[in-house]
Structure 1
Amino acid sequence: MGHRAGVSISVPGCVLICLAICLGAMPAPQRALAQESVSRLSGSGSSSSSPAASMVSRVLLLLKPAAAQTKALDALLMAQQTSGGGSFHQWLTPTQYAAQFAPSAADAAKVTGWLRAQGMTVAPLPASRGWIEFSGTRQQLEQSFQTRLTAAASGPDGVPRLRFAGLPTIPAALQSLVAGVVSLDGSLAEAALTPVALLPDHPRALVSARSLSTATALTPALLGGAIGVSASPSSSTGVNDSGTGNSGALPGAGETIAIPARSDVYVEDFAGFRQTFGLPVGDTLLTVSPNGADPGHTADEAAAQAMASWATAVAPGAKVVVVPAATTNATDGVDLALAAIVDGALAHTVSVGYANCEVAMSAAHEAFYAALYRQAAAEGIAAIAATGDSGAAGCQAEGTGSLVASGYAVNGLASTPWNTAVGAGVVNAAGSGQVGSGTAQLAGWGQSATTDPAYATGGGASAMYATPDWQAAAGLPASDPGTSAGHHRYLPDVVLPGAFSGSGSGTSLSANSGGAAFCFSGDQAPGGCRLVSASGSAIASAVMAGVAAELAARYGPQGNLAPNLYRLARAGASAGSSGGTTSATSSVTASSAGATANSAETATNSSAQASAVTDVLSGSALLYCKAGSPDCGGGSASADSASTTGSGAANTIGFAAAPGFDLATGLGTVNAPALLAQWANPDATGTQQDQVEMTNLNGLTYNPSTYIDLTAKVTSLSGGAVPTGTIQFYDATSQQNAGSPVTMASDGTASYTEPAQFTVGGHNIEAIYSGDSNYAGGTSLPVTFNIQPSLTTIVIAPSTTSPSPGGSVTVTGTVTSPNLGNSPPTGLMTLNLDGIPQGTAKLTTTSGVTTASYNLTAPTSGSHTLQGIYSGDVNYNQSTSSSVTIAIARQATVVAITATPAKLTAATPESFTASIAPAAATTSYTITGTVTFYDGTTLLGTAIIASNTALLADITLSPSVAHSITAVYSGDTTWATSTSSPLVLEPILLPVTVALTSSSPGLSPGQAANLTATVTPVATPVATVEQNPTGNVFFYAGTALIGEAAVTAGLADTGMATLTVPNLQGGQYQLTAVYSGDTVYGGATSNALGFDVENFTISSTTTNITIVQGQSATVPYTITATGGLTGAIQVLCGEQNPPQKGAITCMFNPSIVNGTGTTTLTVTTSAGVVAANRKPDRRSPWLPVTGGVALGFVGLLLAPVGRRARWLRSFAARSVVLAVLLLVGMVGASLGCGSSTPSGSSSTGGTPLGVATLQITGAAYVNTVTVSHNSYLTVNVIP
């Protein structure tokens, strides 16, 4: 084997290779995420000491839709809020949203593929395909995003958190698909709620407090004077509005309010709140649906519990789902929970009670909320977001004990144009914004003294979003606070009760006043009601969420509420009802059962007259600030604010309540009954009487799939102009709206096509008129629609009534109905054959014709009955067809016959098998009857068919003649008769055996041997047939024919054929003899006979050599044995030609080779001196050599042969003989060679120069014969 090549590399070479590897392994070009802000991310965070292998969990990566998609989405959002348009309130599912407004699945896969390639674990994509959640090690994130991770401020529960130290980057190829990394910007939202305070009152005492002079905290019963609601258990609705046609159900019934949180809550506390304050208690009114691992009960529990409790104070029939998510070291749990709510479309209303400084978040984080709220609005979800409790300084920590120094900022979770921003107001008799005849009023909420904790309702201008088109109202700032230019989204939109300042809790309107009561176990075991109170915009957002749930229950999902709130506010202002002076819409009376509503008669149409949005004129949202800090000194207290201590307005930051829109209370607060009554038509302010009637016929029956045209008309009862506005068709039976409000035509009519949404049964449909600037709204008497499945008829028709057995018959059933709906009959047709079901086929409708087709395999011949049965569906009843008869003819068959044994055999009976099959291929069949077998015309017998075959056994036939066998099938009721093709059995030939022998098992070249083939009948032939085989025998060596011999009679009944083996080359052979047979005896092949022809060859790759006189040379020779020769082969060097005057000596080593082997010839020349003046020897130099060789071969010839030579057959004896012969030959040769020295005149002597020939001879004793072979070597002697 060869040596392996080694490779050595110099040190400089190693350096170059390393550089090449490093350059090749460099990542693809990276580009910083342009929307990230270095200043926002740099901060003062120190390097985290967490190991590189530690996990960074649930990181969010925001995907970027195309610019055209974003533009189309904004257009859709506007169209969804435009009454009368084709897209009005046509909400999307998350999947539909993804298809229209998200990156494609292929693009998202590119990003997830890159993340996985970095080693990240990627969570399943959200249905909307708006973002990607992934986790990885710290090292993986740092390497992937090309920046370090440092420690960030821990959350309220001490969870260690991380943030990027610089701009995260991604490959440039993905830049157009990724908006940025939402997580790891160091910001964390805080709950918009003050710390809880334990209320000293017994729950019964607080419940019994019916006025602000006695109450120590806000209760559901005290909401009436603030927003016009009553949460009394004796009231059927929370909102005192009896003209809604929904008097039989709790407000908000059928709706769900979702609350994102970072803590679990106790259902027992929720139930305790409802039981304590007389609200309905249900097992399923509150559910907790964690997003990811349940975070358990954390520091945010009070905020989640307060929001869950107060969300249903206005809508006690609504369900609440709290979605808690744990904050990870990368991502705020609020973000994870909110994403789960919106992407899962868990509710039509979501209340977000958290705040985070807008400008402290990364651009991607801000964009994340915009994307979520955009999606929520498109799905019809009303996103209600608290404005936070840091007043105008949204970057200031809530409740800080130090002076504010951070300047203007707002809550980034509430500042988008696609959510409703809700601030907190103080419920107090000294306030303004009275909406009813009660004593409770609402005022702005802020810090009254420097000694108060720094709480105030959030408000101001966004730094991110321009003023949306719909945000138009009297009092809206001409420019952003602190600037002379700029016009952005302004907060809040409205304020709702979030703080309390009754006589029992103090008279201050400050942030240090009392709060809203709720049950909170805290660190105690849940049970009963441990009353606490707290304030904050989180509670205000929950109350507004209850109002939103009532809107959804009445009008269906509404999406973003803010645009319509501004329309309602503008309508109220134009009607001159901006203050709290509208007619009474509710009252709060003291009773043991709680607050109750006025009678329905008192409230009829009054809600339509009141303003839906009531301005708040008192209070402020001020915080004390550090002199000289940004925006400090820009605050001013309202005229009716409580007196303050400290340095006054000059050292405050914030805003005061004022007429119209202001940045402390927004548009004001809502008058819930008026809001509900006017929501569908903000312009309904009229008082004239009208008549609303359904114009459909009463009592008609419709198919459940029928699109029913609902029609109504509104007529003036005063003879005035035709009423305008909208009509909402309402199903009083299911308490659901039928579609969206419909704009009335110029004749006062409206129609709506109900798209088969009514369930089976009776439905009482009402028309609810919105009213307009002249006419009050109203509701019609109901019209009853009966929804029942329609009768059907099925008729079947086979493709043929006379099929062949086993053939295919297509049976088509046609289903009709006298009362078709918009959906045709669906379901299955079952086909019966003779009363037995054969299978089913699905109904399809083409060009208005509903059919089902079944392919039937025709049964046995005869008459059969078909019948089709329609299964029916939710819209159509079952039906059965009339019977149809088909007649089936017998089917053609084929018969195949086989014999066993396949050939006639002497003294062996035959068995015949007939296989019957259909003439036309089919997969399954059963044939019965009999088969009759014939030999020519002679009957052999009849057999019964079993498993489609018939067997006739033990039939004896003459072996000496041919036979023609046929099978005739009788047929049965299904299958027709048929006859097989003849099966011919030829006469049989007698079997023989052939034995091959040889006169000698082996040969030497030139010898011959006789081969004898003996052909013997297997059985003694009967006297009537030929006794001895005749014909020819062919002899083969392997596959080669070596001869042919005629068969002659041998001993007894045998035949003999003899062949003399020709002269075969040496080798081993397998000999066989093939008897060709004759008319009586069959052919046969003999046994294989091993036969050896022993021989050998002697050869060399060298045929000539050149030797310098006086030197020697060697030549290798190969001895190759053939024919199994393994004995000794003698090799020697023979005569020289021409005769030599000098001497050439040649000798083999070894001189004897056994079988195949190698030997080496050594040739030696002489340079000796010859004596002078001797006469030359005239003898030929060939004589000595020839004489020596001859002498050796004479010895071989005289060696004993035959039996006398048996002792030579052993290897040792052969070796002795060959050695002796070699010795004799060498002596003879030496005698000749010894006399070859020349004589004469002086000479240099030695081997003459020139060319001489040596004869190489090999000899072996093979099969008593000496075999020899020669080879020649040319020697060229040079000086």
Structure 2
Amino acid sequence: MNSSVGPASTCVFNDITQGTIAMPCAKGKPNCTTSNSAHQFGVLSGYSTTAGYDLATGLGSVNASNLVNKWSSVTQSLKQSITTFTALSPATVTHGQAVNVSVTVAPQSGSGAAPTGDVSLIGGPNNSNLGIDGFRLVNGAASGTTNLLPGGSYNVVAHYAGDGTYAASDSAPISVTVNKEASQVFPRLITFNPNTGALVNPNATTAVYGSPYLLRIDVTNSSGIVCSPNPIGESACPTGAINLTDNSATLDGMTFALNSYGYTEDQLIQLSGGSHNLQASYPGNSSFNSSTASDAVTITPAATTMTAPYTGGSITVGVPFSISVTVNSQGFGAAPGGTVQFLANGNPLSGSVSYSPVAGSPNSQPSLGASLSTTVSAPGSYTLTATYSGDTNYSGSTSPPTTVKAQFPAPAVLVAPSSFNVTAGTSLTLTATVMGSSKSLAPTGTVAFSGGTAGAISGTVSYATVTDANGNLDLQAKITFNPTVDDSFVAAYSGDSNYPSSQGSSANVTVTGNDFGLFATALTVTVIRGGQGGEQLQIGGQSNYAGTINFTSASCAGLPRESSCSFSPASVTGTGSTFVTISAAAPHAALMLHAATHHKWPATLGFLFAGFFLLPGIRGKKPVRILFTVAMITSLAVGLGCGGGGGGGGGGDPGTPQGSYNVTVTASSGSLTHTASFTLKIQ
């Protein structure tokens, strides 16, 4: 049936005789033809349908049900052909050797056009029907050579596939014997750039540990020719598997199957540092004999770097501290092994090193963490370094230095007064002993004495080095002064290069008397204009003091203008403290016009009244002229006053003047009076 009359119910193929697969296309696209240059669309070149088989629709549409049901009733309408295998010689060859092939195909009837198309050689060992090679018919004959006959003894037939006129046919078989040929194995290490992935060396003899590389093994024919996957006219590819060993030990599972190109790759290979004898063994197949080859490769250790030793800061003599470093490398290798040694001023530090190895991966580089808990026996400056021994995979390295200071433990400072009870007005000696930790290195530096109430104690401090009961050298400091109130005295040691600073114990001393003392806790108070600032004032007393002190704004002397002071609490009974707050004014406008006017009009009226009352007493003058003069002077004064008021309204008050001021606070209790001073800075 065809598309002109429509399909019948018995039709298997409905021949499509009208139409085309050409279709519209956009101008300028490949194979798009336009009949008019102004057109934006054209026709995409394609095939048209014809009666019978065509390149557009083939045999037409298929009625699948009829095709299946009528498959067994198909009758042959093609002409029969006869295929003759005229030559396949020599009959006995070695694999890969060229064999002459000659085949003819003719009409079985003996007359008619010569068949066209292709003939194929089919056969193989163990009665297999493998497609071996193919040839094109020319005037009903095909000839040539092939080297693709597989190894073994078997029959080969020439198969004609047929064409549109002649049916397929097979020749009588010809027996051949194909002996195995020698094979060759070529293992090689291929290296790549670790940053770009680009090929570096297709046959490397050395590589850095952990760098990217793979092992490729090619199996070739006896001539060393690498095959393609059995294309026509090429040598047949070896099949089977390769066995790999490294220095006679199994490598990565040992067996690797050859692909269709006759080679295989070990892509996960990661050789350890050192020399390697990589052996690849091919057991052969029906076409190739076995063969073995080796590749000598040297893997050099990967470079490493180290971080500077870390301790977390200063260290203390005799106290364990931790020191750590990290050994870093690059690549995808195993975690670094080997050992790390820590040194101080070039001398090894004692203790057991602990390790934290990390293998290389896509997310991290290989590394080795190392830490040591150790001590030093003497104070001073230490240059800490670390050395890594390396292993077969990684080279050794040395860390950058880290300098740390080691000191003795913070010394105890013992404070002892010459007496715990003194009469007011008499002297007291405080002795502070800074306890050393060495029989050869005494603490040096300074000692500062202070009272919890009176603050820093001024005076001359004397020093001496003494030996304690343990034989260690100590620093002894003394100061003599007159205490004014009961107090708790302490001593602070400044420290030196061998000993850190330290605060001493306290010593309580009672001063017999009825007086009190006032003490500022800070030497300087800073106030920003428009704000406040202050400090704590301490009130100390002697043993019998129980008076009361009242603080007011008048208690402060030396304050700059437009500032004030206040106290909290404003009254203190006995000993205690109060907080003095200083307030400073910010610059502001001086709104004085209205007030000035109100003040000056009464004065003006006074001038006028005075003029009227004084006129009768002035002799020799004309009263009216004098009165007029007084009135003019008074009006001028009022006018000037008004002008001045207006000017004040447009100016400003600078507020509390900036600068430094000595402020004195006075405290009185009965007949007793004391002061405390500090510096006030206005900003």
TM-score interval w.r.t. the shorter chain? 0.3 to 0.5
More strand by share: 2
Question: What is the TM-score with the length of structure 2 in the denominator?
Answer: 0.33
More helix by share: 1
Question: What is the TM-score with the length of structure 1 in the denominator?
Answer: 0.19
